[in-house]
Amino acid sequence: MKERVERLKTVRTLIKSHRIDSQETLLQLLQESGFSVTQATLSRDLKYLKVGKVSDGHSGYYYTVPSDEERRESERHFIQDFIRGYVSVDWNATMAVVRTFSGHSDTVALAIDNMGLEEVLGTIAGRDNMVFVALREGATGKDFVEAMRRKIPEIEVD
């Protein structure tokens, strides 16, 4: 997990300090920085960091990362979506289940996916009122709930 955190920091730094127009270029810069990753891993990292592409105004596009304020504002919206939609959270050693108000499972799943919780591998929204949270190897349901409490102090979990 530590290597991932360091890699994510390096990706942010590289994007902020270079004009990068392709994943191939970014992969090369990461390799030069001592990280050996696949294109699929880099794609997940870019999604996790909410990296976008903006026009250079002439001939193409380059990667950009949102500012800290933009990331905090986006996270506030996701937290509000979660609070509006969740009913309860239950867990065991390997997964968590979030029950939601009817029709809120997609929104709650999206919120969890975008909160940047290291414990979360991904979510599956049920048809109507349930979200299954797959946890990363080594993370427990209890770890997930504690991470949620750090993000959302007002969350009520039994």
CA gap 140, 155 in Å, rounded: 18
Q: Is the CB of residue 100 less than 8 Å from the CB of residue 86?
A: yes
pLDDT at 1 exceeding the cut of 60: no
Query: How many domains, the chain?
Result: 2
pLDDT digits (tens, 9 = 90+) for 100-150: 999 999 999 999 988 888 899 899 998 889 999 999 889 999 999 999 999
Which two structure tokens, joined as six digits, stand for 57? 């105004």
Domain extent for 25: 2-64
Residues 36 and 85 in one domain: no
pTM, rounded to two decimals: 0.64
**Per-residue model confidence as pLDDT tens digits over 53-100:** 888 777 788 888 877 777 777 788 899 999 999 999 999 888 999 999
Structure tokens at 61: 């596009």
Looking up residue 112, the CATH number of its domain turns out to be 3.30.1360.40
Domain boundary among 64, 91, 110: 64
Q: What's the pLDDT score for residue 73? A: 79
**Helix, strand, coil proportions of the chain in percent (round to 5)?**
45, 20, 30
CATH number, domain of 26, equals 1.10.10.10
- Provide φ and ψ at 67, rounded to 5°: -70, 165
Query: In terms of domains, do 87 and 141 share one?
Result: yes
Note the pLDDT of residue 75.
82
Distances (CA, A) of 112 to 54, 98, 148: 26, 10, 9
